[in-house]
Chains A and B, each alone.
Chain A
């Protein structure tokens, strides 16, 4: 048991050395780390937001809105496709209630043809070849289209994926900052911005979907009807930013999807902040045609279903650029410009969890945590050496190697160190001590029973190993469960705990045994002062 084959000795040495080398970059200041060769440079521990300072937002998508949009889009498609069908199908009594789209062909003889057209609008989703819509006929007259579970999930998934990209673009247009924007679960997006202390601006930026639309104002609407909220056919009632309501045509003439650029600017006449936009080719042509056809009429600029302004079209705007004015400050103008540049969010996002930590508090936590770690290690070293003398020294070496290995493994996995993680680290030291204590106490016991030095040590390691193994498995179980269920900081704790258990068993059992066996073989002591 105590004689190590040569390859095993080397295995232990190489594993230890690799762990220690991997730990080094994390202990260097960032400037120095950047000069290291590539693979070493990237081997480092990330600091959690609670240590580095920064903001964390958990956003939840309004999935009901995604479902609603899905049905609305299908309604639009069905209207167009039924019109285009040959022979043309006239439909009536369109309903979008109860999460389904239903309509009736005016001519009952066209029912089968209408079903065919409707079926053509559905697509396969997923690997199972399931359709995204179910098309059924009710009472032999009415066609009902219901989105399938798979179809809805596909919609939500793609909306979230687009939203994730838009969020990332809005926060960091240049893509240079170390921000994290990741999907979490089916309908959530997690945003982490290191260094940002006050997330209010961020929340304003993400709070708007930034859906920009240009629509014609319905000049024939009766003002009394509009005030009562009743829209004429083909029109809709929207609130005005400065208060009141206005009727606009339902049809979107040009939308924010066709923008090339947007930036905050100043109106040359009034000097007020405005947002200048430039359309792409297609958008510019459309905008030019619409303005040319409607000179003298008011054109509504609609942002997130609120009419910002409805200026009169004085002349055709053919250059492909326009200005949006409406009570902007420089800041809000800038935010709108960023939002427009990044594109609209396909779904509204709501902040459901938010936390921010100042860099000072984070720094303070690191300093106090590290100080506590050093003091605790020092106290343990003294205690161990006083208790076990030479074997205590081995324990001490094992403790240091253990600490370096945990850091090294965390660096290799690019793990995140959080405040609870530091506590986990300190506890890991406790676990490493326990493994050694179990072994040393067992050796003492075997010596008391009158065993020879060599045999006592051998038995000590052998008998203590089962207890060490069993005891550590329970810690692994809790670490795994914590990792599975925990969020953020807790996960950090679980990672450190799990890695620490693995390394402490290695250093406590294998590494110290190597040291002890070397000593015993070289010196062949008659007695042990233990």
Chain B
């Protein structure tokens, strides 16, 4: 019996010769994402815009139209009603102010610290709760969340800050461990992945809440995981084959790590798919974005991180200090006796 292998041994696929096509695809996807976010906007969760969210489990599948009419009749503001995968479960969201559902304009334009009508919004939650309990006997109010406008703005700014800092921190680390070109490559890759994830949320209208920020940060971590494994191999090969052109070195490195990339991505996809379909629906958006992130991350580590090195003119002597080149060469020679 032979071990299971999805990738044959010693592949030699010229990944990098498709880099212009891939770049075209990336630009297309990036533009699409930006347009989608600009036109559609994101479906902001109340974490960021302030307001109420209520998760309700009815005794039997509920008539959505009737529920909508009932809630709109209460005049509590714009009501967003969503049925979950289980038709008995409904999520109701009531953002704070109907028109200011975009935290970017709201928090930056008017200055952080402006207080939303929080007392007012608290009583809205109890009003809706009371209405549901009396109209649908036996209903279970699973979760109630209410966030004031001020806290929403704070969560929004700390969330954005966390994202920016993580991208910067990781890129700096890579610059420190490798070379500046690699750091730039990582930053571009991260930017690419994050923008596409935003596009995904604009497209699917999945709720963009605090959990999604955690998901994006994890996506960043894993996308970089792939990138680093390939970079690590590129560094190794750059030292090993100092006469080789950069493009063949990149191709060789991607091919050598291909089997690992496929195996790891497969295991993550399996794990996340199970979490998506079996796990609790409260983290559906979180898991879905993570799954997408794995795919984007794998693509970008091949076609963004690696080609950036060509475009930034990385040479095979990038890793040799001018004065220490001799000592370095000896050391490398020793670790690879078969290449002597």
Taking Cβ atoms with an 8 Å cutoff, the residues of A that contact B are: 50, 58, 60, 197-200, 203, 350-358, 360-361, 364-365, 368-369, 371-372, 375-376, 379-380, 383-384, 386-389, 419-420, 422-424, 426-427, 429-430, 433-434, 437-438, 441-442, 444-445, 448-450, 463, 466-467, 470-475, 477-479, 481-482, 484-487, 489-490, 493-494, 497, 529-530
Contact = CB atoms under 8 A, between A and B. Distances in A.
A419 B270 CA distance: 19
A29 to B, nearest CB: 22
Given A364-B280, A478-B221, 11 more contacts: A353-B147, A355-B146, A357-B142, A358-B141, A375-B278, A474-B170, A474-B225, A481-B217, A485-B159, A489-B211, A530-B3
Contacts, number: 218
Contact of B146 (A353, A429, A433): A353
Question: Nearest 9 pairs between A and B by C-beta?
Answer: A361-B142, A372-B279, A485-B162, A467-B232, A441-B260, A352-B148, A365-B280, A475-B221, A355-B145
A448 to B, nearest CB: 6
Given A433-B264, A485-B162, A467 B338 contact: no
Contact of A475 (B225, B259, B266): B225
Contact of A441 (B119, B147, B263, B270): B263
Chain B: interface secondary structure? Answer: helix
B267 interface: yes
Given A358-B143, A365-B282, A368-B280, A437 B264 contact: yes
B3 A420 contact: no
B195 interface: no
Main secondary structure of the interface of A (DSSP, over half): helix
Nearest to B133: A198
Interface string B139-171: 011111111101100010011011001100110
B144 A484 contact: no
A499 to B, nearest CB: 15
A369 B9 contact: no
Contacts of B282: 50, 361, 365, 419
Interface of B: 3-5, 9-10, 55, 57, 118-119, 122, 125-126, 129, 140-148, 150-151, 155, 158-159, 161-162, 165-166, 169-170, 173-174, 177, 210-211, 213-214, 217-218, 220-222, 224-225, 228-229, 231-233, 236, 256-257, 259-260, 263-264, 266-268, 270-272, 274-275, 278-280, 282-283, 286-287, 290, 338
Contacts of A372: 274-275, 278-279
A386 B267 CA distance: 13
Contact of B267 (A358, A434, A448): A434
Contacts of A384: 267
Contact of A354 (B55, B146, B166, B222): B146
B270 A376 contact: yes
Contacts of B129: 198
Contacts of A375: 274, 278
13 contacts: A352-B148, A355-B145, A368-B278, A383-B4, A383-B267, A420-B283, A433-B264, A433-B267, A442-B260, A467-B232, A474-B174, A478-B218, A529-B3
Contacts of B151: 58, 352-353
Question: Which interface residue of B169, B173, B282 has the most chain A CB atoms within 10 A?
Answer: B282
